[in-house]
Amino acid sequence: MTVPEHIATWRDARYDMPVSQQLARYDELAAKHASARARIELVTRGIYDPDRHGADDRPPLTVAEHIELLGLAECIARTVRHPANIHHAVLAGVTWADIARIVDSDERTVRRDYQRWADDQHDLNRQDPDLGMTADEHVAATARASTGL
């Protein structure tokens, strides 16, 4: 897959490439940005030495590259912070208190967000029986969200 010419939102990054490629492209842009900023800092301080630091020009990121970097960062964050990860943790026995602590939130908020996700999954299943949560799974998820089971 190729990197899209313009990534205007995180959704554009999300649907164009798998997260492994998103991470690679993010790393590439972040390294380019850090390198350009480091060179500027060395020049500003008057300690830039082409023999030591390299004579190659290190242009700053373009506006399009900054937008791409932001879009990729948001997409990666949303992908790895997916609510299904909380669902699998709860099923494995992780407590709501532990989840709240790990995600730097409170139990009420974490449970509420989980319930909303479960509701959305159940709605999805009603539209397409091969996706989302069945009615029985939704009842169980609602019980977990309300009682901590």
pTM confidence score: 0.63
Task: Name which of 32, 26, 113 is nearest 70 in CA terms.
Answer: 26
Kindly report, residue by residue over 14-50, the tens digit of the pLDDT. 656 788 988 999 999 999 999 888 877 777 888 877 7
Q: At 106, is the secondary structure helix, strand, or coil? A: coil
Gap between the Cα atoms of 83 and 132, Å rounded: 13
Question: Residue 72: exposed, middle, or buried by beta-carbon count in 10 A (0-12, 13-18, 19+)?
Answer: buried
- The tens-digit pLDDT sequence of the chain (149 residues) is 445 555 666 666 665 678 898 899 999 999 999 988 887 777 788 887 777 766 777 888 999 899 889 988 988 888 888 889 999 999 999 999 999 999 999 999 999 999 999 999 999 999 999 999 999 999 999 999 998 55
For position 92, what pLDDT does the model report?
A: 95
DSSP structure class, residue 9:
S
Gap between the Cα atoms of 34 and 27, Å rounded: 10
Question: Residue 86: exposed, middle, or buried by beta-carbon count in 10 A (0-12, 13-18, 19+)?
Answer: buried
Q: At 94, is the secondary structure helix, strand, or coil? A: coil
Gap between the Cα atoms of 60 and 77, Å rounded: 24
